[in-house]
Amino acid sequence: MTNPVESLSGQVAALAGGSATPSSLAEHALERAAELGDLNAFVALDPGTILAQAKAATARRKAGRALSAIDGIPIAVKDNYLTRDFPTTACSRALPGESDGVDATVVAKLRAAGAVIFGKTNMHEWAYGATNGTSSFGPTLNPHDKGRITGGSSGGSAAAVAAGIVGAALGSDTGGSVRIPSAACGIYGFKPGYGRASRHGVLALSWSLDAPGPLARELDDIERLLPYFLGPDSADPSTFGSVPMQPTGFRAEPLLLALTGKGLERSDEVEAALAAALRAGGMPVAEAELPAIDSYFAAWEAILHCEATAYHRERLATSAAGFSPVTLAHLKAGTQITADEYLRAQAIRTSFVEMLLKRMGKWDALVLPTLPVVAPLVGEDWQEFGGRKVTTQDSMTWFCWIGNLAGLPCVTIPVPNSGSGLPVGMMLMGRPGKDEDLLAIAKMLDSRINGKATS
C-alpha cells in the first residue's frame, strides 16, 4: 500500500488536516532527492527557490488563504517545459534558446494554484527517444532496480514519483513518453487526447503528435491534476475546440476491446499479467487485430521524424555539434523524407483513425499492455518476445504510438506481476474528446485490479 504522504492526494489530505505544511513537504522531498541522487532523476534542483515557494504557501495556509487544494504541493517538471525559475535545456547541449523567465501554460496554471514547482527532471534528449539513456546529464535509473532503465522520454519524472521524492510530475508524450516510463517504474500516467491540453511552452518533438501529461502515484492524483491540463489556451490553436475538464457521467459497464495479433506481440510474462488483470477487472472484453499495422507504424515514424527535423532546422544549421550522435542521426534521417511521403503518411493517419473509430465496432476503451516487456537492463540493445527480436528503443514504443497517431486519450495503470516482480502496465485508450470517460473507466478497473477505492 502506498504511503499516503507520498501520493499527491495523501499530501492534500495531510495539509488539510494539519499533519504537514508546505514547508515540511518541500523539506522532505529535498531530503529524499538527496538520498536518491544516484537515480539521476533531477537536472535542476535549487533548494532556495523551492523552499521560498513552500514558505509562501505555508503562510497562505496559515492565514486561511490557500489558493487551491494543491497549494504547497511539490510537483516536478520535465526539462522540456519552460519554467521561469529553473533553466530549460531539454537535456541537450544544443540548447533551446527560448525565452527564460516564462512558464509553459500548464506550469503557469499549477503555479497560480500554489503548487511548488520542484525542479526539472531528466529526460531523453529533446524527447527524441524512449529509454532515457541519451541525456547530456547521463541516464536515469529505475527505482525498482537500478540496473534497469526507466524508459523515456519522461524517465526522470517517473523515477522521481516512483521513488517517493514527489507525488506527481509533468511529462510529455509523442510516442508514449508519459506512459512508457510510468509503466516501467510502476506508477500511473495519463496522455490527454490531442487538442485537449495546451502544448504552449512545452518544447516540441513533433507538434501533431505531442501531448503534455501528468505522472503520479494514484489515479486520484491524476484526476486532481487534469483540470490544469485540459481546456482551451489562446496560445495553442490546437486547443481551440477543447473544453475544461467536465465531471463524467460514465457509469455503465464499459466495453473493452483488447488489441492482439501480428505487430502487437508481447512477452509471456507481460501477457500473463495482463490476462490476470483483465480477469480481475471483470468487464466485457472483445478482441480484435489491427490490419496493416506496419504501414501505420511507418506513418507515425515518418510524421515524427519529418516534424522533428523541421522544428530543429535552425539548430541543425548553427549548433548541430550540440546534439548527441544518436539524436543527430535521427534528425538527419528526417531530412530524407519528402513532402510527398509526409503527406502520404498523414493520409494513412486519417485512414487509421477511421478504422479505429468506425470499423472496429463498439468499444469504450482499447486495451493493450503499455510495454511488451518489463524494464530492460541498462545497456541492453535488443529485446526478444513473441517470436520477435527488436531494438530496445522500438520495444518501448511497441504499443504506445497508436494513441499518438490517432490522437486518443491514453492512461497506463500498474497491474500485479507474478513473474519477475518488476512493474507491468495496462494501457487503456479512449475515444477522442472522452478523456474524462477514460479516466472513469481506468478508476473502475483500478479498484478491481489493485483494490484502490474510487472517489
Query: In the 3-class helix/strand/coil scheme, how is 259-316 assigned residue by residue?
Result: EECCCCCCCHHHHHHHHHHHHHHCCCEEEEECCCHHHHHHHHHHHHHHHHHHHCHHHH
Mean pLDDT by groups of 10 residues along the chain of 455 residues: 73 97 98 98 98 98 98 98 96 85 96 98 98 97 98 98 98 98 98 98 98 98 98 97 88 92 97 98 95 97 98 95 97 96 98 96 97 98 97 98 98 96 98 96 96 70
Give the separation between CA 450 and CA 439, rounded to whole angstroms: 15
Catalytic residue among 78, 191, 434, 443: 78
74-78 and 285-289 as β-strands: parallel, antiparallel, unpaired?
unpaired
Q: What is the DSSP string of 7-34?
A: SHHHHHHHHHHTS--HHHHHHHHHHHHH
| Burial class of 340 by CB neighbour count within 10 A (0 to 12, 13 to 18, 19+) | exposed
Cβ atoms of 185 and 284 closer than 8 Å: no
- Tens of pLDDT, residue by residue over 194-246, are 999 999 999 999 999 999 999 999 999 999 999 999 999 999 999 999 999 99
- The question of whether 177 is a catalytic residue gets the answer yes
- The Cα 68–Cα 116 span in angstroms is 12
Indicate which residue of 135, 177, 206, 395 is catalytic.
Answer: 177
Q: What per-residue confidence (pLDDT) applies to 252?
A: 81
What is residue 97's predicted lDDT score, i.e. its pLDDT?
Answer: 80
C-alpha cell belonging to residue 113: 494554484
78 is catalytic: yes
In 3-state terms, the chain is what percent helix, strand and coil (to 5)?
40, 15, 40
**Catalytic residue flag (residue 146):** no
- Report the Cα 351 to chain-centroid distance in Å: 26
pLDDT (0 to 100) of residue 2: 42
Q: How many residues does the chain have?
A: 455
| Whole-number pLDDT of residue 1 | 32
- Is 319 exposed, middle or buried, given 0-12, 13-18 or 19+ CB atoms closer than 10 A? middle
Torsion on CA atoms 306, 121, 84, 117, rounded to nearest 10: 130
Please report, for the chain, the start and end positions of each structural domain, with discontinuous segments joined by +: 1-455
Name the maximum alpha-carbon separation found in the chain. Answer: 63
Q: pLDDT value at position 225?
A: 98
* Superfamily of domain covering 1-455: Amidase signature (AS) domain (3.90.1300.10)
| C-alpha dihedral sign at 117, 119, 122, 125 | positive
Sheet strands (E) in 87-128: 116-121
Q: Residue 43 and residue 41: Cα distance in Å, rounded?
A: 7
Distance CA 423, CA 19 (A): 31
Q: Would you state the pLDDT for residue 4?
A: 57
∠ CA(275), CA(279), CA(281), 5° rounding? 115
Residue 101: predicted pLDDT: 84
- Dist CA 421 CA 418 (whole Å): 6
Beta strand 74-78 with 116-121 is: parallel
Q: For position 24, what pLDDT does the model report?
A: 97
Please pick, among 9, 135, 153, 182, the residue that the annotation labels catalytic: 153
